[in-house]
Structure 1
Amino acid sequence: MLMLTGEYEHTVDGKGRLFVTNKLRSQIDSEEYGSDFYLVLGANGILCLYPEKCFKKIALAGAPGTAAPDEAVAFERLSFALASKVELDRQGRLLLGDKIRRRARLSDSITLVGARDHIEVWNTEDWEQYLADNLAQYQQQMMQARKSVLQNESRELDL
């Protein structure tokens, strides 16, 4: 299972290229997940960089089973229209076109966020605001998750 983690601040250079840190790239086994990437406008308008095989699983899964036929068509259409197969250059840079930067509301100051099976590309100010808005809830959820793990481990020891 892919577990991309961390947050890394970068800037978009004058040619529109974004450096994808080796600290994230090295977490991806190219044999297992492919060596190419898909750049996708994802949930909440966040730009996402998916390893090839992770994106294919999502795109080919289609809309949720409860979706109406017209929603399924829209999901399929937009999943492929808003995705671009991209390659990183030898320095680990990715070209971000003006259209995708505009749609994702990206400035020159970018934060890359490891998000399990993909990398999210955030405008740094938006990422900081997201953290401020959600950190307290996350801390509560982490406390509950840790409590659950400890309880399960305690039960296993009692067996």
Structure 2
Amino acid sequence: MDSLIGTYECKTDAKGRVMLSSGLKKQMESVLHEGFVLKRSVFQSCLELYPMAEWNKVMGQVGKLNRFVKKNNDFIRLFTAGVKNVELDASGRLLLPKDLLVYSKITKEVVLSSAVSIIEIWDKELYEKAIDGAMDDFAELAEQVMGGLNTEEDELS
């Protein structure tokens, strides 16, 4: 699994379960059996679903931090706060734990949005507000983040 593509809308049931769309499950077919890690997002009021291999890469980086440096220790504690191992059930549903539902303000309508190799899980209304609010500055952001990158074609010109 190189990267995920797409944004999908679904609903939570009374127990906080969401059904992954068939398009998303198909993209993740090779990693479904490994399970996932679900955590709070660092920058937004949403959740992040990591395939286990992606989580292990991130934790490999985090594990290199010196825990005898207070800010590193504080970061690790906050980064891993509320982290849960999750799996799809036999019906292809993902249970979103109650504490993470409360954190993310997810009620009924949900957006699953690909973010390279993870999936962001949003309350639909909050997702739309985040996207709408960011669109005004997107051109400037794109230039700042991607404008300095050169492709091989640019280097040959």
Q: TM-score range by the shorter chain?
A: 0.7 to 0.9
1:91 alignment partner AA: S
Structure 1 moving runs of 4+ over 6 Å: 63-68
| Cα distance, 1:136–1:154 mapped onto 2, change above 3 Å | same
2:25 corresponds in structure 1 to 25
Q: Deviations over 1:109-139 (max 9, x none)?
A: 1111000010000111111111111123334
Identity percentage of aligned residues: 27
Structural RMSD (CA): 3.0
> TM-score, with normalisation over the residues of structure 1?
0.79
1:113 corresponds in structure 2 to 113
1:41 corresponds in structure 2 to 40
- In 2, Cα distance between equivalents of 1:136 and 1:67: 40
* SS of aligned partner of 1:15: coil
1:96 corresponds in structure 2 to 96
1:130 corresponds in structure 2 to 130
| Cα distance, 1:74–1:130 mapped onto 2, change above 3 Å | same
1:101 alignment partner AA: L
8 A Cα contact 1:62 1:75, kept in partner: no
Please state which structure has a larger fraction of its residues in helix: 1
> TM-score, with normalisation over the residues of structure 2?
0.80
| Cα distance, 1:152–1:55 mapped onto 2, change above 3 Å | same
